[in-house]
Amino acid sequence: MEIFKVNSTFDFMGKRKLAMVLSIIVTLICLGSILFRGFNLGIDFTGGTLLEVAYPDGADLNAVRTALAGDFTDAQVQHFGSASDVLIRMAPRPEESSAALSERVLQALRQDTPAVEMRRVEFVGPQVGQELIEKGGLAITFALIGILIYVALRFEYRFAVGAIVATLHDVIVTVGIFSLFRLEFDLTILAAVLAVIGYSLNDTIVVFDRIRENFRRIRKGSLLEIMNIAINETLSRTIMTSATTLLVVLAMLYFGGKVIHGFSLALVIGIVVGTYSSIFMASATVLGLGLSKSDLLPVAKEGAERNERP
């Protein structure tokens, strides 16, 4: 562990222009994909049919997916409540009624397990999906507004702008990759995006705290040097936090199964992009807004020197 206690001296702020150009290019590509290609929305947003089936003994989800692979390749399968209950989600099929669809699904499942029973069938309309999209967008918007207010009150308004720019960058790139590669976007991805916002902000606040501390502690040195020192001093913490978090999320990605695959993938992308933005984007934005040492130095009170005299 001693290696992580050694402070690096990498010139992060010296590379800020290159990093900003790279970030702008990637962000524009992701924005273009979001605006012109849209998302491959899951059943949570598009609506569809929900079927709950019960097995006499524990259900093997892989066996259920195999049984449905022929005619129902879009089916999403997960346990519901107990290991014997299975929830199946299917995309809308306007040409087929829910009753006919459920009967075909039941026949496919009974080829391997004749004792399987249908518990319920529900149709979720697209209006519900539209409502979820609107509420999800509002959740992200309110989260960003809360971040803006919190950072502005705790630090200074330039830091608030830097935090928002870095967070927006992380959100756009994360969801943009799902749009670019036509990966399914459902409620679990939206939950992962909200988690990425919190993770990215946490890393950014740690760096901002050290920058403010160094402004008050280091009297000599340029603004650029002080920011570089702060980023290098927190680099070991940033690397260790990101690495340990990634280990857990990668385990979820490879061993968690299909149900949380998209959620885990979004977290992996968000952690990597969030770590990058905390190091380069946030501080570079604050620097570009014209922050000076005097903005963070404590304000001297009138008569303070007189009160200190014996």
The per-residue pLDDT for range 171-227, each reduced to its tens digit, is 999 999 999 998 888 888 988 998 898 888 888 888 888 888 887 787 677 788 888
CA pair distance 133, 190, nearest whole angstrom:
9
All CATH 3.30.70.3400 domain ranges of the chain, comma separated, are 48-124
pLDDT for res 174: 94
Mean pLDDT computed over 221-243 = 87
Q: What is the pLDDT of residue 101?
A: 82
Question: What pLDDT sits at residue 18?
Answer: 92
Residue 93 pLDDT exceeds 80: no
CA dihedral 231, 233, 235, 240 (to 10 degrees): -150
CATH 3.30.70.3400 correct for 48-124: yes
Q: What's the pLDDT band for 117 if we cut at 50, 70, 90? A: confident
pTM score, two decimals?
A: 0.79
Confidence tier at 296 by pLDDT (50, 70, 90): low
Helix, strand or coil for residue 292?
Answer: coil
Of residues 7 and 271, the one with the higher pLDDT is 271
Residue 283, φ and ψ in degrees, nearest 5: -70, -35
Instruction: State the average pLDDT for the chain.
Output: 82
**Per-residue pLDDT tens digits for 190-202:** 889 988 988 888 8
Give domain 8-39+128-295's CATH architecture.
Answer: Up-down Bundle (1.20)
Task: Give SS3 for 299.
Answer: coil
DSSP class of 301: P
Measured distance CA(268)–CA(272) in Å, rounded: 6
Share of the chain above pLDDT 70, in %: 89
Contact 26, 173 (CB under 8 A): yes
Residues 121, 101: Cα–Cα separation, whole Å: 10
Among all chains, which residue has been given the structure tokens 């962000």? 27
**What pLDDT is recorded for position 126?**
65
Instruction: Over range 34-40, report the average pLDDT.
Output: 90
Give CA–CA dist 174/207, Å, rounded.
22
Say if residue 90's pLDDT is above 50. yes
pLDDT value at residue 3: 39
Contacts of 285 (CB under 8 A, 6+ apart): 161, 162, 165, 166
List the end-to-end C-alpha distance of the chain, in Å, as a whole number: 49
Other beta carbons less than 10 A from residue 296's beta carbon: 18
Name the segment(s) of the chain with CATH classification 1.20.1640.10: 8-39+128-295
CB 47 within 8 A of CB 124: yes
Confidence of residue 272 (pLDDT cuts 50, 70, 90): very high
CA dihedral over 57, 63, 69, 73, signed as positive or negative:
positive
